[in-house]
Amino acid sequence: MKNKICAFTGHRPQSLPFGFNEADERCITLKGKLREEITKLIEKEGVSHFITGMALGVDMYAAEIVLDLKTTYPGITLESAIPCETQAVNWTVQQRERYFDIASKCDKETLIQNHYTADCMQKRNRYMVDQADYIIAVWDGRPSGTGNTVKYAKKQGKPIIAINPKTLLVENL
- Alpha-helical (H) ranges within the chain are 25-45, 58-69, 93-105, 120-131, 145-155
Residues in CB range of 9: below 8 A, 6 or more apart: 53, 58, 59, 125, 128, 135, 136, 137, 138, 139, 146, 149, 150, 153
In this predicted structure, the answer to whether residue 154 has a pLDDT above a threshold of 80 is: yes
Domains located in the chain, CATH noted: 4-172 (3.40.50.450)
pLDDT in tens, 99-119: 999 999 999 999 999 999 999
3-state DSSP call for residue 77?
strand
Q: What is the pLDDT of residues 10-33, one digit of tens each?
A: 999 999 999 999 999 999 999 999
Read off the pLDDT band of 75 (50, 70, 90).
very high
Question: What is the identity of the amino acid at 147?
Answer: G
**Residue 68: pLDDT over 70:** yes
